[in-house]
Amino acid sequence: MSDPIIDVRDATKTFGGLTAVDRVSFTVTRGEIFGIAGPNGSGKSTLFNLMTGIPYGPTNGEVRFNGERIDGRPPHAIARSGLCRTFQKDAEFPDLSAIETLQISAVYSGGQSAGQALENARRAIDRVQFDEARAHMPSSELSVYEKKQLMIASALVSEPSVLMLDEPASGLTKPEIERLDALLVDVNKSGVTILLIEHVLSLLLSVSERLLVLNQGAILAEGLPADVVRDPAVAEAYLGG
C-alpha cells in the first residue's frame, strides 16, 4: 500500500492578520511526483517555507518526514535529513563556476569534506546532464536553462530523498520546458520523491502523479491531475483569481 514520506497536518502560517497557509493537510507517497498549483499569492511558496523551515516553520500544525516531526527543527537539520529545496529566485554566485557552486553547496548542506564535496558536485553535474565543458566557466555566462540545471544540481548535491522545486520552469522556452520535464522524470526514477510547485500547467500535468491546488491559503482540490483540472472550483479560482 502507500508509503508516506511526508505528512503535513493542519499546517498554518500567519503573517500578522494574514493567513497565508490555512490548515493545509496532505500526504506525499514515497517515490511520487506530487504537484502543487494555485493562483499567485495562494500560499504555495509559504507552504514550502514552513515545511523546510527556511526561513520559518509553521505557526500551527505538524510536518512529518519519514514519520518524524520536523517542524521546529533548524533548517540545516531538515536539509541534512534529506528534504532539499530550490527557491523561486535562484541565488547564484555569478563569478563561480557550476562545479565551484556545487562544491560550496555540498559543504554547507551536507557538512562534507572538500574531497567528498567535489565528488558529490561531479555526481550532481552528471545527474542533471550538465555539459561538462561548461561546468568550469563563470555561472554568469550560463544560459537560463543551464542556471536551472545548476539550481536543481545544488539541491541534489547532498543526495536528498525529497526534492522540492518552486516554479522551476519560469523563464524557460517550450523546448527547454520539455527538457526539464525529462530531467525531472529522470531524477524521480533515480529514487527521489519530488514536490513540484509550477504555474506552467503543461509541465505540472505531464509529470505529476497527484495534484494539490491551493486557493487563498487553503486546499481547493486534490487528486489525480485529470480529475483536478475538471473540477469547476479550480477553473473558477484561476479565472477569478
Residue with cell 512529518: 64
Identify each DSSP E strand in 141-198 by its residue range: 162-166, 193-197
**Interaction between residue 17 and ligand ADP (CB under 6 A):** no
Decide whether 39 or 110 has the Cβ nearer to Mg ion: 39
Look up residue 198 and give its three cell numbers.
509550477
Q: Look at strands 4-15 and 18-29 and give their pairing.
A: antiparallel
190 binds, among ligand ADP, Mg ion, none (CB under 5 to 8 A by kind): none
For residue 85, the minimal CB distance to Mg ion (Å) is 12
Of 50, 6, 49, 35, whose CA–CA distance to 214 is shortest?
A: 35
**In the β-sheet with 193-197, what is the strand arrangement from edge to edge?**
83-85, 162-166, 193-197, 33-37, 210-215, 218-223
178 contacts: CB under 8 Å, gap ≥ 6? none
* Peptide linkage before 74 cis (omega within 30 of 0): no
**Interaction between residue 18 and ligand ADP (CB under 6 A):** yes
**Interaction between residue 45 and Mg ion (CB under 5 A):** yes
Q: What DSSP character marks residue 97?
A: B
Decide whether 46 or 101 has the Cβ nearer to ligand ADP: 46
**Interaction between residue 27 and Mg ion (CB under 5 A):** no
Q: Which stretch binds Mg ion (CB under 5 A): 42-50, 72-80, 200-208, 209-217?
A: 42-50
Decide whether 99 or 234 has the Cβ nearer to Mg ion: 234
105 binds, among Mg ion, ligand ADP, none (CB under 5 to 8 A by kind): none
Look up residue 48 and give its three cell numbers.
514550502
82 binds, among Mg ion, ligand ADP, none (CB under 5 to 8 A by kind): none
For residue 140, the minimal CB distance to ligand ADP (Å) is 27
79 contacts: CB under 8 Å, gap ≥ 6? 52, 109, 158, 160
For residue 20, the minimal CB distance to ligand ADP (Å) is 3
# binding residues, ligand ADP (CB under 6 A): 11
List the interface residues with ligand ADP, window 62-91 (CB under 6 A).
none
Residue 69's alpha-carbon distances to 46, 64, 110, 168, in angstroms, are 18, 4, 20, 27
* β-bridge partners, 214: 219
**Interaction between residue 215 and ligand ADP (CB under 6 A):** no
75 binds, among ligand ADP, Mg ion, none (CB under 5 to 8 A by kind): none
Candidates 41, 62, 96, 200: give the one binding ligand ADP (CB under 6 A): 41
**Interaction between residue 14 and Mg ion (CB under 5 A):** no
Look up residue 27 and give its three cell numbers.
500526504
- The letter for the amino acid at 214 is L
Residues at the contact surface with ligand ADP, assessed by CB under 6 A: 15, 18, 20, 38, 40-46
Residues at the contact surface with Mg ion, assessed by CB under 5 A: 44-45
